[in-house]
Amino acid sequence: MKFFADTADIAEIRDLAALGLADGVTTNPSLVAASGRDFMALIKEICAVVPGPVSAEVAATDEAGMRREADVLRAIAGNVVIKLPLTLEGLKVCSALTAEGTQTNVTLCFSAAQAILAAKAGATYVSPFVGRLDDVGARGMGLIAEILEIYRHYPDFTTQVLVASIRSPMHIVEAARLGAGVVTAPPAVLRQLAVHPLTDKGLAAFVEAWAKTGQKIVS
């Protein structure tokens, strides 16, 4: 399973990359606004830190506008993935960019029907938002199971399911159990995967026992 960091915080990205927990990065307008950084400069810097896919989202909503912005964004670096909304206009742009060899991430997916359209348009990734579905009483991970089941029936569908809007480590574990190949999560959630109270308790016991020996491994 690949981990994408869902953040525009360059310090967080550098730290996760050093930990081996940043196979890629996803950004969105909200994250960029929170960073306070210039969008173009930020994407360029992220692409230099992380050699994997870096999703940069268009701001326009019409086909012509999205296409113009995509041309600018993909010129930043070879690992830029153009992030597009799952609308009919977005799917048109996705199909055109795919034909040109540009990687795409179709975002704001909330149904299996939408995921089928993303695959038909040749999207590199489709991003179903599990947390937002959970928020309205639906079962987000149920959608992931549906999409993966559908995609397995059709070898011609090459779109990867990028599980998004992750709120907890259990979302990541459930996605892994279902066989999702990629998740994107906030840095704090990725780090929480390493946390368990029994690990902390065991380590404290080992440290205490070692101190009683009076020994040192390095003088």
Kindly list the catalytic residues.
Answer: 83
Are 215 and 195 spatial neighbours (Cβ–Cβ below 8 Å)? no
The strand ranges marked E within 86-167 are: 104-109, 125-128, 160-163
Total residues belonging to the chain: 219
Are 77 and 48 spatial neighbours (Cβ–Cβ below 8 Å)? yes
Dihedral angle, C-alpha 53, 58, 62, 68, nearest 10 °: -90
CA–CA separation, 5 and 161 (whole Å): 15
Are 25 and 50 spatial neighbours (Cβ–Cβ below 8 Å)? yes
183: tokens are 């998740």
